[in-house]
Amino acid sequence: MSDERPVLSLVVPVYNEEDNLQPLAVAVRKAIEPMDVSYELILTDDGSKDGSWEIMKALAARDSRIRVQKFACNRGETAASEAGMRAARGRYIVTIDADLQNDPNDLPKFLDALQTHDVVCGTRVAVRGQGDNFIKVTSSRIANWVRNKLSEENISDAGCTYRAFKRECVDKVKLYRGMHRFLPTLFKMEGYTVTEIPVTNNPRLAGESKYGVWNRLFKSFHDLLAVRWMKKRVLDYKIAERVN
């Protein structure tokens, strides 16, 4: 492995995505190579019960830009995302789903926005409905409204985990179970600048979605209350003057 750090680190949590992994690797390569930037694709298997791990190892054996790791057992999307972020070596980190609903062709827009902001969040609002059914769209919109209301935020699409940020942002943030949904707020609390860009929302290529009404509306409610508590109690001060 080269000691030179890549420009981009794409972090992908994986759970039972055996049919999507090969197309994902191809789509990422085709999207990034015209950009003429170096990259790595970091796949973290969150205790998959299908053949995902074997496919991940085969992909890594064929392409040194693909790095893979596996949990001993299922620990959830936040844990898999954090493990990938901690392993990332790139100047910029991108979190992207394995099912190709997040389109790698949007990566140039993320990289452009990172020249003026620390964190860039994808928002599917402008093209909503291309890849989701009515129940998923409705539950996502309601969940987004509730998250923004209780956390006093204005993120257009808080449920979209297609995001990019400078790697130093990760150093100051400690994640807990379920907190991947609130990364933009956690980054803001550390003083980083956050912006949004519209992204494509493709239909799921294969497999089944891991999220439904229960996940979107109810399961994250306790996490939301925790973020609200943290936000109201964050230390906020500036040194006006210092001697010696």
For the stretch 56-106, pLDDT in tens is 999 999 999 999 999 999 999 989 999 999 999 999 999 999 999 999 999
What are the structure tokens assigned to 10, written together?
């794409």
Instruction: Identify the bridge partners of residue 42 per DSSP, sorted by sequence position.
Output: 11, 67
- CATH superfamily, domain at 8-233: Spore Coat Polysaccharide Biosynthesis Protein SpsA; Chain A (3.90.550.10)
Q: What is the pLDDT of residues 105-120, one digit of tens each?
A: 999 999 999 999 999 9
What are the structure tokens assigned to 41, written together?
């694709």
Are 124 and 197 in contact by the 8 Å Cβ rule? The answer is: no
Are 119 and 195 in contact by the 8 Å Cβ rule? The answer is: yes
Q: How confident is the model at residue 128 (pLDDT cuts 50, 70, 90)?
A: very low
Q: Where are the domains of the chain?
A: 8-233
The C-alpha R_g of the chain, in whole angstroms, comes to 18
Q: At 102, phi and psi to the nearest 5?
A: -80, 125
Single out the residue of 200, 210, 215 nearest to residue 101, CA to CA.
200
